[in-house]
Chain A
């Protein structure tokens, strides 16, 4: 005879179901989409540098008589003579250039943006995977079948009927449990990856400042000097046109900085780390009251069902 011990269902569910993931999915989707856009902009801005690095490596290889690309004569021979189904992809020229490992390699930075995109995609899949509805349906079906089985084996036992009564709330609880578990998985991934996301975005920002848009450093320095001058206590002694000119310098430097920060995509890249951190904090703190109330309701219904007493 099947028995459903109340405790094994109730205890872990109460512990975990204070959090759930559904609306959190929107936030992760937005993070992933906006982050990818920022990274696309970085790649587009870095493309000329990538081309320069590639051209330099090619020129070096040619000058030194080194290989520039690999060529598979077998795959290409088959393709050309149409003996096999090998398509153009089987006859590709794969680069064997050695890109110089100088500081500020755009190739390495573009590899990093690819990894960040891959991480964001995986995070999106994690929040969307495993429909709680499917879990609920599977659990409900399992319990209904268990009830039918129990009734067949022992038709006289009134307790067998409680399985089908309990199947609805039990399924919901399992769905909620699943969502809570999913949120805990998301939280773990966010927590473990957060420090490296911060450093990765700092690396891309550094790449923008020093290599992709090297004018950034001079603009930032102008902003710092011009606007610090304004708040320097020495400024209290300055009056009239000189003071007006000082204010104008600060305003102009600030506007120039804000424009460049947005245009270069640096602000957006740094926002990826800030958003990731806030997602982590949200995942830590999220308590879904509606789900909790629903859970309590389902637990009551489950207990009532298991006692064989109509609510």
Chain B
């Protein structure tokens, strides 16, 4: 879990820096400051490559069989949660039907007693 959170944070940080540098490069280019635009764009390229390198490292973790199996068991836990909710809903429906049936019997019983 720690690895997952750390990688996500690193990815978001790199993306944010890359986007900021790209935006500044664009602004410099639009303003005609070409040297600055080129210098910033070279930094932008480095960030791109860093992001790719990070993804390559992340892929090694993501495709480890132990990790993949752990993900599979977490997904199964999600399926179990869904199935449990289905069971709860089924219980509610059954309870309501039972109440209706019970009241129906009580009604009949009272009528029989009233006649007697």
Contacts and interface: CB of A to CB of B under 8 A. Distances in A.
Contacts, number: 176
A236 B96 contact: no
B79 A115 contact: yes
Contacts of B34: 233, 236
A185 B75 contact: no
A197 B75 contact: yes
Contact of A189 (B85, B103, B106): B85
Given A119-B75, A126-B86, A233-B34, A203 B110 contact: no
B99 to A, nearest CB: 5
B48 A224 contact: yes
Interface string A126-166: 10011100110011011001101100110000000000000
A281 interface: no
A174 B96 contact: yes
A174 B92 CA distance: 11
A169 to B, nearest CB: 16
Interface in B49-104: 52, 58-60, 62-69, 71-83, 85-86, 88-90, 92-93, 96-97, 99-100, 103-104
Contacts of B38: 232-234
A233 B29 contact: yes
B81 A211 contact: no
B4 A199 contact: yes
A192 B80 CA distance: 12
Interface of B is mostly: helix
Contacts of A174: 96
Interface footprint category on A: 35 or more
Interface string B25-53: 10001000010011001000100100010
Nearest to A146: B103
Contacts of B110: 149, 152-153
Taking each of A112, A134, A152, A207, which has the highest tally of chain B beta carbons within 10 Å of its own beta carbon?
Answer: A112
B100 A192 contact: no
Contacts of B74: 193, 196, 200
Interface in A153-197: 153, 174, 178, 181-182, 185-186, 188-189, 192-193, 196-197
Contacts of A145: 100, 103-104, 106-107
Taking each of B73, B74, B88, B110, which has the highest tally of chain A beta carbons within 10 Å of its own beta carbon?
Answer: B74
Q: Sorted from nearest, which 7 A-B pairs have the closest CB atoms?
A: A193-B78, A122-B82, A145-B103, A206-B59, A108-B65, A108-B68, A105-B65
